Amino acid sequence: MLDLGTGSTESVDYPDFGYAVAAAIADGRAERGLVICGTGIGISIAANRHPAVRAAVCTDPVAAKLARQHNDANVLALGARLIGEVMAEETLKAFLATAFEGGRHAHRVDKLSRPPVVSMSE
For the beta carbon of residue 5, count every other beta carbon within 10 angstroms.
13
Catalytic residue among 37, 50, 58, 105: 37
Catalytic residue among 58, 70, 105, 107: 70
Tell me the residue range of the domain where 72 lies. Answer: 14-102
Domain membership of residue 83 (yes or no) is: yes
User: In this structure, which amino acid lies at residue 44?
Assistant: S
CA gap 118, 4 in Å, rounded: 36
Confidence of residue 121 (pLDDT cuts 50, 70, 90): low
CA distances from 59 to 22, 23, 66, 78, 116 (A): 21, 24, 12, 7, 28
The predicted structure's pLDDT at residue 77: 98
Instruction: Please report, for the domain that includes residue 84, its CATH number.
Output: 3.40.1400.10
What three-state secondary structure class fits 21?
helix
- For the chain, the domain total comes to 1
Sequence-distant (≥ 6) Cβ neighbours of residue 89 within 8 angstroms? none
Query: pTM for the whole thing?
Result: 0.89
The tens digit of pLDDT for each residue in 28-42 reads 999 999 999 999 999
Whether 70 is catalytic is yes
Domain membership of residue 78 (yes or no) is: yes
Whether 37 is catalytic is yes
The predicted structure's pLDDT at residue 122: 56
